Structure 1
Amino acid sequence: MVVSESMEERLARAFVREVPKLNSTVTLVEYDPAWPGLFEREEARIRGALGPVAVVLEHVGSTSVPGLAAKPIVDVVLGVPDSTDEAAYVPPLEAAGYVLRIREAEYEHRLFKGPDTDVNLHVYSADCPEIAKMVRFRDRLRAVPEDRELYERTKRELAARTWTYVQEYADAKTSVVTAIGARA
């Protein structure tokens, strides 16, 4: 018999520090034209810290899609030669002010929070298919108004609910993200 892991167990396993609880609705704001500039600032900081170790660096997530409402958190995906080789990138990122928050075995994903801007820095090995998937999803939302509108409607409906953890909100979007991604 397979016993499924609870949300609390899953998050406790992934978070490096205490798991933050939301116990509220999710805040979405209208698209802010300053978001691309915030990404560019983070891109320069990351490239300055890592040099050639930063193989791939892209602005992803809702803040990368003009006109799309979003949580005011800039999502950045970073591809490094090997995300399991933390010695190659964690110390320089920490020296630049980033804080390691999540370490997930699936896809060897790492997540850092930014030093002075609300940033989610997602780190994968550069050849990880998750990077291309995130970029294709972003590009689809940028190019196809109907998918962008569907995604925003879904986000708004889900954001209005009360969630214990932000991850529950993210998980609830999965079917729509998968459907849009399949069309990308």
Structure 2
Amino acid sequence: MAEKTKVVEVVPYDPAWKAEYSRIEKRMLEIAGDLIIAAEHVGSTSIEGLWAKPVIDIDLVMESYDQLPEIIRRLQEFGYEHQGNMGIEGREAFKSNRDEGFMKYHLYVCPKDGKGYVEHILFRDYLRSHPAAREEYQAVKQRLAEAYRYDIDAYCDGKTAFVQSILQRASQHQE
């Protein structure tokens, strides 16, 4: 299972997160670039100005699940453990068992039409283009990080209603 965050810490946006994402992306493209159609920086660190837990989220996007067995094989060669979807449809999680010199990150492999990937992009793009929603989310995260400093599950559960409301707004905004 993924290593659980021991202390929930939400910190001010750091422009270095973009560069760190690029370093991780470059490594992923070296490993599986010919098997994926895109790599995306998702999650809070991908949203300029948003406070976040200092953990990069990266989605490697595959055409379909047909590519997954070979992606798993390649990632395993480089010390990654496949963790399954961890309860989220359309997203396969991987954990590195080696210190690669990167800041902490979460690696996901997703089909291009997978729910996990589609929601990551909808959420990210909506918050990037709606400053008021971004500020609202930041306030929610800061409040939850203070209330649940040693309980990552409660922190994540506390964000669910807000995240769902953003996904609903983003879906309506697309139509």
Q: Report the TM-score, using the length of structure 1 for normalisation.
A: 0.78
2:146 paired residue among 147, 160, 182? 160
Alignment CA distance shift 1:106-1:65 (3 Å): closer
CA distance in 2, matches of 1:21, 1:135: 24
Give the aligned partner of residue 120 of structure 1: 106
| 3-state DSSP of counterpart to 1:151 | helix
**Long gaps (5+) in structure 2:** 171-175
Q: Is the 8 A contact 1:83 1:108 kept in 2?
A: no
1:175 paired residue among 152, 161, 167? 161
1:53 paired residue among 29, 35, 44? 35
Give the aligned partner of residue 87 of structure 1: 69
CA distance in 2, matches of 1:21, 1:121: 15
Q: Which moved more, 1:40-49 or 1:63-72?
A: 40-49
Alignment CA distance shift 1:122-1:141 (3 Å): same
Give the total of aligned pairs: 166
Which amino acid in the other structure matches residue 91 of structure 2? H
CA RMSD for the aligned pairs?
2.4
CA distance in 1, matches of 2:85, 2:117: 16
Give the aligned partner of residue 6 of structure 1: none
How far is 1:157 from its partner?
0.5
How far is 1:163 from its partner?
6.0
**Long gaps (5+) in structure 1:** 1-14
CA distance in 2, matches of 1:143, 1:108: 25
Give the aligned partner of residue 173 of structure 2: none
Give the aligned partner of residue 100 of structure 1: 82
| 3-state DSSP of counterpart to 1:160 | helix
Given the alignment of the two structures, is residue 66 of structure 1 paired with residue 45 of structure 2, yes or no? no
2:115 paired residue among 114, 126, 129? 129
How far is 1:53 from its partner?
1.1
How far is 1:92 from its partner?
1.5
CA distance in 2, matches of 1:162, 1:84: 40
How far is 1:167 from its partner?
3.2
| 3-state DSSP of counterpart to 2:140 | helix
